[in-house]
A and B are shown apart, each in its own frame.
Chain A
Amino acid sequence: MSALDSISTRLAYTEDQALLRDEARRMLATRSSIEAVRALHPDPVGDDPAVWSELAQLGWLGLLASEEHGGAGLGAVEFAILAEEAGRTLLPTPLLAHVLAAKVVDVGGSAAQRATWLPPLAAGGLRASWAHVEVGGTWRVDDTTVEEEGGRLHGTKAFVWAAETADVFCLPVRVDGEVRIALVRRDAVGLHVQGEAGLDRTRRQGRIVLDGAAPEALLERPASEVEAAILPLAWTALAAESVGGATAALDLTAAYAATREQFGKPIGAFQAIKHPLVNVLIATEQARSLVYAAACAIDQGNDDAVLLARMAKAGSADAYGFATSRAIQFHGGFGFTEDCDAHLYRRRALASRPALGDPDHHRARIADQILGARAP
């Protein structure tokens, strides 16, 4: 496989990482059971403050932030572990959004900015989200149409996770022709939040309209540098979350197929059910291998990270879609009802697929990377 020969990432997994997974799985099984997730559906906030506090006490809200500023100083593998476990239970608490936003501050901030912002972010007293997507769906920082003029911001960001509950947003803005990351408080004068009617009720999202709001800070480093550091992490975390969700959907469906009887036997005995479920298993396990490859590449500072993270994002989105589509279908008439959990996972999969690039987008870039860019 000549084109891929240069991949040199090595997989590693420590005892501490295994313990972290056990702890996360135990905690989330009780605090984010599917009943608890459903109970939050009508809730205007959409997540449980008690769970937020518990995540803060466990140190997971500051997972990636530097230890000197109160963070846990951990890496992509730990983030993937938490994201995978959170995905398994459709955790409505905006853990991913917050951890990524804190990392934006950590990567982009000056020493003083990091000293100011990271401690409350790591402790969970301040909730943050990364608001980088345009109304039209473009999401690279260089696509931003938010402008800074005379210390005031004008523009709109959409598809912002936890828009209604975050205290502060990190968003790319144009300042004198250069794109920088601004920190803006939700309660700033001139900032308006509109909740979006999301397909996935377990991950709230909304639109932020900036009509003269003043930023609290402009991070020191250029936005493109911050983005380069954040994207592989974000792709990998989202991929891990999708792999966790795909696994939960598969488990749910396999358990149903093993007990639901038709024609005198459990439907899982029929190959029309069994073989597609095995195909789901294969797609999910392949995606999981890519997730941990990407996470290890990031932690090892390996040049493979971008390629592997794109592969993980593309592969996991496909696997999650496949797993959840089969989950609804194989539950039959029950699968078509609100009561069946399958659609909750299907909705998450549909909502996560476009985030930070859909599979087509990533495969086009994977091709560029291994084949060289196309001639113009």
Chain B
Amino acid sequence: MAQEEIFTQEALDSFRAEVRRWVEQNRPPDPGFVLPQTMLSVTTDDQFTYLRDWQAKVYDAGFVGVEWPVEYGGGGRPRGYQRVVDQEMSRAGVPFLINLVGLAWAGPVILAYGTEAQKQRFIMKALRADEIWCQGFSEPSAGSDLASLQTRAVRNGDEWAVSGHKVWTSLGRYAHQMILLARTDPDAQKHAGISFFLAPMKIEGIEVAPLTKLTGEGGFNQIFFDDARFPAERLLGQEGQGWEIALATLGFERGASDGAAGGRSDVYSYDIGALIELARETVRDGRPALEDPSVRDRIARFATEAVAMRFSRLRTRIPGLVADRPMALPLMAKVESSEHLQRLADYGCELQGYAGSLTKGDPAAVDEGEWQRFYLNTYSMTIAGGTSEIVRNILGEKVLGLPKTR
């Protein structure tokens, strides 16, 4: 018996047709202002409101949290359906779902580790973007070495009091909730002293300070906690279980674990198809760049990588074809896809020749300089959620059995 996908193809095809029809009929109007390329760059109130309304509309149509339990506002469908929605939204080029942290990282760990009350309290509001989530993991002195984090949470009766400093917080200005890592036992071994909180953001003692990203856009923040107090039931899991839950969260963030409620589509419309279009329109030595053998070789390399990634994703679902190294494909997906896109974007800039030195605002910029903005933004993918270097350490140790680096 073939171990194929566990859903029936006919049902999935008809669902795809339904999604495609809905997306075509409900494409949101041109906002009249520039939209960010990802949720990392939401800078203005107009952008925020527009994107939040869009997610609510998609949720009301039944296309967010498609596979999540019905009792918490999900669609209760089998695995494979959410990916269809993500693919169709990506294909149609409609805006992304703004509450990515809620849908893809916070939500799955609340479902896995949360109490019944926490699931009731948070899940549906995250799906509908009624509450926006952000992530409070990294600190100025705790990046790749995340477990050395110093933000403190102290229990006082029915409350936790938090003091410390978090950085690289996307959506920090707009978020209602944060998944927060804080040290609750400074005497314990460093991994054991950490706890995981579902912290409210709109309270006293929290200050949000904006950062400007390398693209010149905002949306990135640092968060200062000064004796910020919230109720005891905001702890997720047990005291001291934070590192375990953080690793589970990173599994979702890196795409190594299935179960997101949406938003995991390719957030950029820049892919091999866009590169081919660019090569078709770019003139080199008096002919379309697409006819240059070296350009064709590069495109064939990108195409081979893209197809390999696609079949690697499918292969993870076939136990017999991953038996020798079951964790290899899920763990390497983030490194391979982010670095592939970074190389592809870089080549998109190179193909433009001198025009590649222009940016938005110059009338001669190709595609209004979007390739260049895209390229700079790809560093979010190779850095966030564990840098490519940290993920390579993990792959070397967990998959190849090499000794620990530190």
Contacts and interface: CB of A to CB of B under 8 A. Distances in A.
Given A363-B301, A363-B304, A368-B296, 12 more contacts: A1-B271, A4-B272, A4-B273, A5-B273, A11-B318, A12-B3, A14-B3, A266-B403, A269-B403, A285-B328, A290-B308, A364-B300
A214 B293 CA distance: 44
Q: Is the interface of B mostly helix, strand, loop or mixed?
A: helix
A284 to B, nearest CB: 9
Interface stretch (B109-117, B156-164, B391-399): B391-399
Interface stretch (B56-64, B75-83, B217-225, B309-317): B309-317
A314 B304 contact: yes
B402 A13 contact: no
Interface of A: 1-5, 7, 10-15, 17-18, 21, 247, 250, 254-255, 257-258, 265-266, 268-271, 273-275, 277-279, 281-282, 285-290, 292-293, 308, 311, 314-315, 360, 362-364, 366-368, 370-371, 374-375
A275 B321 contact: no
A294 to B, nearest CB: 9
Best-buried of B303, B310, B325, B332 by chain A (most CB within 10 Å): B303
A375 B293 CA distance: 11
B14 interface: no
Interface residues of B, number: 55
Contacts of B300: 314, 362-364, 366-367, 370
A271 B144 CA distance: 15
B400 A281 contact: yes
Nearest to A261: B403
A367 B335 CA distance: 25
A293 B306 CA distance: 13
Given A271-B389, A275-B396, A285-B325, A370 B303 contact: yes
Contacts of A315: 304, 308
B392 A375 contact: no
Contacts, number: 178
Contact of B291 (A7, A268, A374): A374
Can you list the 5 inter-chain pairs with the closest CB atoms, starting with the nearest?
A2-B273, A268-B402, A367-B296, A363-B300, A286-B308
Contacts of B358: none
Nearest to A315: B304
A275 B389 contact: yes
Q: Which residue, of A5, A274, A315, A368, has the highest number of chain B Cβ atoms within 10 A?
A: A274
| Central interface residue in A13, A258, A292, by most chain B CB within 10 Å | A13
B203 interface: no
A4 B405 contact: no
Nearest to B308: A286
Contact of A2 (B276, B311, B389, B404): B276
A205 to B, nearest CB: 28
A81 to B, nearest CB: 10
A69 B181 CA distance: 67
Contacts of B397: 274
B290 interface: yes
Contacts of B400: 250, 254, 268, 274, 277-278, 281
A270 B287 CA distance: 48
B3 A13 contact: yes
A289 B312 contact: yes
B396 A274 contact: yes
B311 A11 contact: yes
A277 B405 CA distance: 14
Given A285-B312, A290-B307, A364-B297, A274 B392 contact: yes
B329 interface: yes
Contacts of A360: 297
Contacts of A7: 307, 310
Contacts of B299: 367, 370-371
Nearest to A285: B328
B301 A281 contact: no
A319 B138 CA distance: 35
Interface of B: 1-5, 271-273, 276, 287, 290-291, 293, 296-297, 299-301, 303-312, 314-315, 317-318, 320-321, 323-325, 328-329, 332, 335-336, 389, 392-393, 395-397, 399-405
Contacts of A257: 402
A17 B395 CA distance: 28
A250 B320 CA distance: 20
A1 B306 CA distance: 8
Interface centre among A21, A290, A364 (most CB of B within 10 A): A290
B301 A13 contact: no
15 contacts: A1-B272, A2-B273, A4-B307, A7-B310, A11-B314, A11-B321, A13-B3, A15-B3, A258-B401, A271-B389, A274-B392, A277-B400, A278-B335, A281-B400, A366-B304
Contacts of A273: 402
Contacts of A366: 300, 303-304
A360 to B, nearest CB: 7
Nearest to A270: B405
B313 to A, nearest CB: 9
Contacts of B389: 271, 275
A375 B287 CA distance: 10
B321 A269 contact: no
Given A17-B320, A285-B325, A367-B297, A12 B276 contact: no
Contacts of A292: 311, 315, 321
Contacts of A11: 4, 311, 314-315, 317-318, 321
A166 to B, nearest CB: 33
B304 A277 contact: no
Contacts of A285: 312, 325, 328-329, 332
B405 A311 contact: no
A12 B320 CA distance: 10
B202 to A, nearest CB: 41
A363 B302 CA distance: 10
Most chain A Cβ neighbours within 10 Å, of B290, B306, B307, B401: B307
A21 B321 CA distance: 10
B301 to A, nearest CB: 7
Contact of B309 (A3, A258, A286, A288): A286
B403 A265 contact: yes
Nearest to B2: A12
Given A4-B303, A274-B392, A282-B335, A13 B308 contact: no
A274 B315 contact: no
Contact of A364 (B271, B296, B401): B296
Given A7-B307, A274-B393, A13 B297 contact: no
Given A285-B329, A367-B299, A374-B291, A271 B315 contact: no
A371 B303 CA distance: 11
Nearest to B321: A13
A15 B318 CA distance: 11
Nearest to B276: A3
Contacts of B395: 278, 281-282
B332 to A, nearest CB: 5
A363 B297 contact: yes
Nearest to B305: A286
Given A11-B318, A285-B312, A308-B307, A269 B405 contact: yes
